[in-house]
Amino acid sequence: MYTSFLNDLSSILDSSAICCHANMAHYTSFKAGGHADILLFISDEQQLQTSLALLKSYHFPYMIIGNGTNLLVKDTGYPGILIRFSNENIAPAINDTIIEAHAGTSLSTLSQSAASAGLGGLEFLSGIPGTIGGAIYMNAGAYGGEIKDVLSHVQVLQPNGSKTTLPAENLGFSYRTSLFQSNSNIILRAAFQTTFASPASIYNKMNSFNALRREKQPLDYPSAGSTFKRPPGHYAGQLIEQCGLKGRGVGGAKVSEKHAGFIINYNRATAQDILDTIDMVSRAVLKTFDIQLEPEVQILG
């Protein structure tokens, strides 16, 4: 099915950047799930544009993913091509209080670069796993901060192959939502507005946030972070805990005893174990509180 496509692709990407029958348990933070037909690792915008043009000529389904920290691929796999940026450690560019980086740059690299330059405002990002592109896609946030609060503008690749720059206020941000979830634009780069601050004060904030994460979150087990979005006026973890679901689950997946908002892979869980646990939790909260929880995790397959 893919033979001709792979032959053509070999003129664009090195063989090391092409993974056929990719086990997505190796590329997602849940450490569970099925295979993708092909996983591509893209290192620059030219590779992306050329690869996408080729993909579209073959009409294969495809999707851009981040670091897989908010992703679960069903055990049956993804029948298509997944694309992942491989430039997560490229240093951001700094101009006065604006810091700009590739979509594939990790949030850790972004926040550390800002801190070392004495640029504050991005401290809340320091412990969030994943990439800039993925964080913008879902308007990621923690400890009172969200991407929308610090984003200045993004450069995107449009479906027609042209690039354009969009200001943050035009991106339809709301809680864990952006316009990128309903259009086909691909985030290439992003610029963030910061403020000057002493590196010591910035690192103190980052250390405090990271200490809270270690204290409150089950970081010793694979997970996708908060499994559910926060329902209006409530906290998902509190509702789940009040249902008595801590430690409950299906197969190798369960609700964390440390934080009920997290479903963890504690014993070689399958994707179906995780999905069944999500369903069990959703049903219990709906029955008890008449509140429908919405998964924050993106499910493919």
Label residue 106 by pLDDT band (50, 70, 90).
very high
Q: CATH number of the domain at 3-85, out of 3.40.50.2300, 3.30.1340.10, 2.10.25.10, 3.30.43.10?
A: 3.30.43.10
Considering the entire predicted model, what is its pTM?
A: 0.93
**pLDDT, tens only, 261-284:** 999 999 999 999 999 999 999 999
CATH 3.30.465.10 fits 93-216, yes or no: yes
According to DSSP, residue 59 is labeled: T
For all residues of the chain together, what is the average pLDDT?
95
242-245, Cβ contacts within 8 angstroms, sequence gap of 24 or more: 242/288, 242/289, 243/281, 243/284, 243/285, 243/288, 245/280, 245/281, 245/284
Contacts of 293 (CB under 8 A, 6+ apart): 228, 229, 231, 236, 239, 281, 282, 285, 286
List the structure tokens of 123. 């401290």
**pLDDT, tens only, 127-158:** 888 999 999 999 998 888 999 999 999 999 99
Kindly report the backbone phi and psi dihedral angles of residue 241, in degrees, each rounded to the nearest multiple of 5, phi listed first. -65, -40
Label residue 90 by pLDDT band (50, 70, 90).
confident
Q: Within a 13 Å sphere around the CA of 285, how many CA atoms are in the beta-carbon half?
A: 26
Active-site annotation, residues:
176, 226, 296
Give one DSSP letter per residue of 60-122, joined into a string: --EEEE-SSTTEEE-TT-EEEEEEEE--TTSPPEEETTEEEEETTSBHHHHHHHHHHTTEES-
Q: Average pLDDT for residues 95-110, to the nearest whole number? A: 95
**pLDDT, tens only, 153-197:** 999 999 988 999 999 999 999 999 999 999 999 999 999 999 999
CB neighbours of residue 82 within 10 Å:
24
* 3-class SS shares of the chain: helix, strand, coil, % to 5: 35, 30, 40
Domain coordinates in residue numbering, the chain? 3-85, 93-216, 236-300
Q: Average pLDDT for residues 83-93, to the nearest whole number? A: 86
Task: Check whether 88 has a pLDDT greater than 80.
Answer: no
Distance between CA atoms of 241 and 104, rounded to whole angstroms? Answer: 35
List the structure tokens of 42. 């893209």
According to DSSP, residue 44 is labeled: S
User: Is residue 253 within 8 Å of 271, Cβ to Cβ?
Assistant: no
Structure confidence at residue 91 (pLDDT): 86
- Tell me which fold the domain 236-300 belongs to: 3.90.78
Distance between CA atoms of 188 and 186, rounded to whole angstroms? Answer: 6
Q: What percent of the chain has pLDDT over 70?
A: 100
163-167, Cβ contacts within 8 angstroms, sequence gap of 24 or more: 163/188
H helices present in the chain, as ranges? 3-9, 45-58, 107-116, 132-138, 147-150, 199-216, 236-242, 271-289
Task: Check whether 89 has a pLDDT greater than 80.
Answer: no
Q: How far is CA 162 from the centre of its chain?
A: 25
Label residue 219 by pLDDT band (50, 70, 90).
very high
Structure confidence at residue 162 (pLDDT): 92
Structure confidence at residue 127 (pLDDT): 83
**pLDDT, tens only, 10-32:** 999 999 999 999 999 999 999 99
Distance between CA atoms of 101 and 92, rounded to whole angstroms? Answer: 4
Structure confidence at residue 150 (pLDDT): 97
Structure confidence at residue 143 (pLDDT): 85
Nearest C-alpha neighbor of 84 from the set 114, 104, 111: 104
**pLDDT, tens only, 56-66:** 999 999 999 98
CB neighbours of residue 173 within 10 Å:
19
For residues 28, 57, 184, 72, the Cα torsion angle rounded to the nearest 10 degrees is -20
